[in-house]
């Protein structure tokens, strides 16, 4: 027994399921998905049931299908993985520098792209934007350049007037997962500031090649179930800033302590050198039969012969011999 199902290409994705059900009813066959696999077709599955799950740091929540897990989550971001190689990134936030800004160009030449920063022109084509980000992330992770081709691109603007894009395609990130289907939601977050800084938010859904149609309803349900807690994220941000300030203050204190210790060693060295120089001068005076004397009325010092010094001190009590440690630099030593 054989059967042939056909329709116009544009109608087939919608009519295939109905025809398979009729075929199954007519032949007593099994479920539509098995029939679709046998005939080389594809049927979009309904969304899987989701289990509400809070992120470990309580910064957000998402509905998880059976067998799925949260691999990592922080500050509203999360990475999810499914049992068949599905992978979801929720709210990947990228701080972006516009490389057209002279200040940004100078900064990149001097220190490169710090942390999670990427360099993308504001308002660039959505596909170019995503591929630039993926390329720079791969470079930071020391991976080969990804190869992704997007067959479908939808763009629009939200109620706030900011641009968003939906990208669908296939490719390889060269992260060990091989060829995969990609569905990317990309959101521009605000206008660039005076220094060319702006933000990009990405939701990325990838599945093994050929699975996107089957998984799309579930991926959509996961995306719609995502929630973030702004208060928790704000608290985490404040804590991070406090830790950064504490680290900076500690670094400054350590730097000052090191500087003070170095200065103290320099002063100690200079004092020891000065003391030695004075002793050397006193010994030189001894060898030359000279004496350093001072007039106690004015504080002036001078070096004269021993005989003259003894004569002055004997006849005028205002003249005194200068102790070695009181010799004046440039005058008596």
CATH ID of 51-228, from 3.40.1000.10, 2.60.40.10, 3.40.50.920, 3.10.450.30 = 3.40.1000.10
More reliable by pLDDT, 123 or 14: 123
Q: Which two tokens stand for residue 151?
A: 């067959």
The whole-model pTM stands at 0.61
**Which of 21-30, 60-69, 80-89, 254-263 bottoms out in mean pLDDT, i.e. has the lowest?**
21-30
- The CA-based angle 53-59-62, given to 5 degrees, is 30
Compute the distance between CA of residue 14 and CA of residue 23 in angstroms, rounded to an integer.
Answer: 15
Q: Which two tokens stand for residue 323?
A: 């102790």
Compute the distance between CA of residue 65 and CA of residue 72 in angstroms, rounded to an integer.
Answer: 16
More reliable by pLDDT, 11 or 129: 129
Compute the distance between CA of residue 166 and CA of residue 152 in angstroms, rounded to an integer.
Answer: 8
Q: Is residue 35 over pLDDT 70?
A: no
SS3 (DSSP) at 308: helix
Tens of pLDDT, residues 251-280: 778 888 888 888 888 888 888 888 898 888
Which band of pLDDT confidence, cut at 50, 70 and 90, is reported for residue 37? very low
Q: Is the alpha carbon torsion for 31, 32, 36, 39 positive or negative?
A: positive
Residue 189, φ and ψ in degrees, nearest 5 = -110, 90
Which band of pLDDT confidence, cut at 50, 70 and 90, is reported for residue 113? confident
Q: What was the pLDDT predicted at 232?
A: 86
> What are the extents of the domains in the chain?
1-43, 51-228, 252-326
């Amino acid at each position: 027994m054989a059967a042939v199902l056909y329709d116009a290409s544009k109608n087939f994705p919608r009519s295939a399921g109905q025809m398979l059900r009729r075929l199954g009813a007519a032949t007593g066959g099994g479920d539509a998905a098995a029939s679709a696999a046998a005939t080389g077709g594809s049927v979009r599955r309904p969304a899987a049931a989701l289990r509400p799950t809070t992120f470990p740091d309580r910064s957000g929540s998402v509905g998880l299908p059976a067998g799925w897990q949260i691999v990592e989550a922080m500050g509203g971001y999360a990475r999810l993985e499914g049992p068949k190689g599905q992978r979801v990134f929720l709210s990947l936030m990228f701080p972006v520098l516009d490389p057209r800004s002279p200040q940004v160009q100078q900064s990149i030449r001097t220190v490169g792209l710090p942390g999670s920063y990427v360099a993308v022109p504001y308002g660039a084509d959505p596909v170019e934007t995503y591929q630039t980000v993926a390329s720079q992330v791969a470079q930071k992770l020391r991976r080969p350049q990804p190869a992704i081709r997007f067959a479908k691109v939808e763009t629009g603007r939200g109620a706030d007037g900011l641009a968003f894009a939906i990208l669908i395609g296939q490719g390889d990130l060269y992260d060990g997962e091989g060829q995969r289907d990609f569905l990317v939601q990309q959101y521009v977050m605000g206008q660039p500031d005076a220094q060319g800084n702006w933000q990009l938010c990405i939701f990325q859904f990838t599945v093994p090649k050929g699975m996107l149609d089957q998984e799309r309803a579930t991926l959509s349900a996961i995306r719609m179930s995502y929630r973030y807690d702004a208060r928790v994220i704000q608290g985490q941000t404040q804590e991070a800033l406090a830790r950064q300030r504490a680290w900076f203050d500690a670094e400054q204190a350590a730097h000052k302590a090191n500087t003070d210790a170095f200065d103290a060693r320099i002063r100690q060295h200079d004092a020891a050198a000065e003391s030695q120089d004075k002793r050397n001068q006193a010994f030189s005076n001894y060898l030359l039969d000279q004496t350093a004397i001072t007039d106690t009325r004015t504080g002036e010092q001078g070096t004269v012969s021993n005989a003259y010094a003894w004569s002055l001190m004997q006849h005028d009590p205002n003249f005194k011999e200068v102790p070695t440690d009181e010799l004046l630099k440039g005058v008596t030593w």
